[in-house]
Structure 1
Amino acid sequence: MCLVFVCGEDERVVSRQPAPGACPYCRGMIQAMDVESQWNFCFLPLYSKTKRRYYCTMCTRKLVLQ
């Protein structure tokens, strides 16, 4: 008997816009990206969520708000 689970997560960028402030590492411009993630099981969508992520445009670091 063979049981195979086919699941995965797909992410796509919905929008991008400049964010106020500067990167604390390189003083570059910060970009806010809205990313939609969707969990699939056997090609059926189970869960969808939109998150806002911040990245530096110069050093490409992911920035976290505290």
Structure 2
Amino acid sequence: MAIFDDEPRKKPRPHEIGQDLSLLSVDELSERIALLRDEIARLEAERAAKGATKSAADALFRRG
């Protein structure tokens, strides 16, 4: 009889900056690295898009 089968599985906690990594396996660490790399790429793309928008606005409103 499996008592614990009906209990919902807990989602793994998202990565937190500065958290203790000693309890994570090598696979878990690799997964976190991949997720963080994807997030960095997303942040850089957003920064580039905002930079392009700002440059266009600056060029439009530049006084000469």
| Greater RCO, 1 or 2 (C-alpha within 8 Å, sep 6+) | 1
| TM > 0.5 | no
> Structure 2 length normalisation: TM-score?
0.19
Structure with larger Rg = 2
